[in-house]
Amino acid sequence: MYQSVTKSVSAAFGAIAIVGLTACGGAGPAPAPTENPNIAAATQWVTAGATGKAEAMAAVQELMAEDGLLYRSRYVGFGFTWDPADEEGRMIVGTVTPESPVDGLLQPGDQFLSVRGVEVNEANMGKLDFRGKPGEVVDAVILRDGESMDISVARGIIDTPISKAQMLAWMDTGDADTWGPEKWELHEAIGQGNVVYVWTQGWDTDEVSGLPVDNHTVTRFEFNDAGKVVALGNLSEDRFALEQAGWTISR
């Protein structure tokens, strides 16, 4: 889920810009370097995302092209999102990833009642068998329009990008009050032409173990000629973050 963090930014736009220089001969000095506006836009994007849910969604609305795509981290699983902060402890589908194993099977608003015979509750929602070996069939029971339904899903690799509209719908399922880590810092933003890379770091405390967790993220932005984001994706230390909180992965 998207994260909210503190507003600290460690570098000014001008200090981190990649500039283009024109070779000079005897005609006079080279023109003064100019900042790449795409670096400023990328920095605006990550800073808004670190400030709060409303600010993050407003930045996406303003800065992303209508045909822009978000490339989320790949994983093996079902292919849906849900809000872990549901006030009643329910697991309700927020969005369904196109071309995922549950595309055409699940709908936004479906509620998971049980997974492999284990009743869904607030304590176990993040520990059920949605993710694991690809191709393995998982039986579950969902509630739709007041009636329970049995479903079977073979896990698959989820690597389909999502559109601007789908991204906003996904973000909207997040809880504004628990949007992200306790501290955040922008380390560097560099770019040339229509491609920009932004390196950030966040710090938080794991709610279950009470252990401190930090995570570096590099976000790659691609802009069109109008200065709008047409593609973005992240590389982050997801496995490292889990291990800091005491989680292990076993087969």
Q: Is residue 6 part of a domain?
A: no
β partners of residue 137: 154
pLDDT surpassing 70 at residue 55: yes
Give yes or no: residues 120 and 90 share one domain: yes
Give yes or no: residues 134 and 203 share one domain: no
104, burial (CB in 10 Å: exposed 0-12, middle 13-18, buried 19+) = exposed
Q: What is the pLDDT of residue 85?
A: 74
pTM exceeds 0.85, yes or no: no
Q: Which residues contact 132 (CB under 8 A, 6 or more apart)?
A: 76, 77, 155
Supply the range of the domain harboring residue 140. Answer: 75-157
- In the chain, the amino acid numbered 157 is I
pLDDT band per the 50, 70, 90 thresholds, residue 34 = low
Is residue 112 classed as helix, strand or coil in its secondary structure? strand
Boundary (domain end) residue, out of 157, 182, 200: 157
Gap between the Cα atoms of 249 and 242, Å rounded: 9
Is residue 59 classed as helix, strand or coil in its secondary structure? helix
Q: What is the pLDDT of residue 29?
A: 52
Give yes or no: residues 46 and 165 share one domain: yes
Q: Which of 45-49, 83-87, 101-105 has the lowest mean pLDDT?
A: 83-87
Is residue 200 classed as helix, strand or coil in its secondary structure? strand
- Bin 5: left if φ > 0, else alpha if -120 < ψ < 50, else beta: beta
Q: Is residue 25 part of a domain?
A: no
Boundary (domain end) residue, out of 140, 157, 174: 157
CATH number at residue 141: 2.30.42.10
Gap between the Cα atoms of 52 and 178, Å rounded: 9
